[in-house]
Amino acid sequence: MAAKPRLESVLFVPDTHRPYHDPKAWSLLLSVGKALKPSHLMILGDFCDFYCVSAHSKDPTRATQLETELADVRRGLDDLDALGATDKRYCGGNHEDRLTRYLQDKAPELFESVTIPGLLGLEDRGWRYVPYKHDTRLGKLYLTHDVDNAGRYATFKALDAYQHSVVTGHAHRMCYVVEGNAVGEHKLSAQFGWLGDAEAIDYLHRVRVRKDWALGFGIGYLDTKTSIVYATPVPIITKGSTYSCVVNGDLYTA
């Protein structure tokens, strides 16, 4: 019998905000995923936007039914399921928490009946759901959506909170930090950007979106002998209408 490969590939899926995702960025992620053939798929939160149940004031021209949003999210999960990963984890984010808070405040009678895993069929699909403000661990790497921080220093604050290697989402930034301590032990903290459509953002000045947020995602390899995850950011470069990224020496375009 063939020996199990020592390195297992990982695909990190950052904030996607479906149905308000960027189709070309999503296409690039899938193209890389098909080539990478990930053993592990990690959704880092805010895969759904849940605009229709947000507590924020909403643009009436964008208001949709919940089922309309969910149908698009399910299509995104179909795309990821087709990559064939055997370990699939979905970390809830603050946007998934929009539904939780909506039920708590406006429909408490449905709170235990209406759940994100149930609405998306996650158990039947083979996904493990990690609720918002919880974490999961892949080898020696923690994964969670956020630790109550956003902005430029969120990656550093996540490392301060965990004192351990950690990957987060939430801030839509591309940031990779390695810091050590007095005895030379080094830990990683990383964010892999986002896959959303900047034109769909209606709650933040557009200049801040253009300046601070970066399209991208992450890949990695889990060393099954040491449990170390070697994580790598994959920025998506836009030039005109062309999107591109490079992974393992191969150029991908959309």
- Output the domain CATH number for residue 136: 3.60.21.10
Prediction pTM value: 0.95
In a domain, 1, yes or no: no
pLDDT of residue 17: 97
Query: What angle is formed at CA 22 by the lines to CA 18 and CA 24, rounded to 5 degrees?
Result: 130
In a domain, 31, yes or no: yes
pLDDT of residue 58: 81
In a domain, 231, yes or no: yes
User: How far are the Cα atoms of 2, 152, 203, 213, 222 from residue 209, in angstroms, in the given order?
Assistant: 49, 13, 10, 5, 33
The low-confidence residues of the chain, meaning pLDDT below 70, are 1-4, 63
d(Cα 67, Cα 58) in Å, to the nearest integer? Answer: 17
| Total number of domains in the chain | 1
The distance from CA 53 to its chain's CA centroid, rounded to whole angstroms, is 20
In a domain, 215, yes or no: yes
In a domain, 2, yes or no: no
In a domain, 248, yes or no: yes
What is the span of the domain harbouring residue 21? Answer: 7-253
Q: Which of 241, 206, 235, 196 is nearest to 48 (CA)?
A: 196
pLDDT of residue 141: 98
In a domain, 179, yes or no: yes
Q: Cβ distance 46 to 17 under 8 Å?
A: yes
In a domain, 20, yes or no: yes
pLDDT of residue 63: 65
Identity at 160, one-letter amino acid code? D
56 contacts: CB under 8 Å, gap ≥ 6: 203
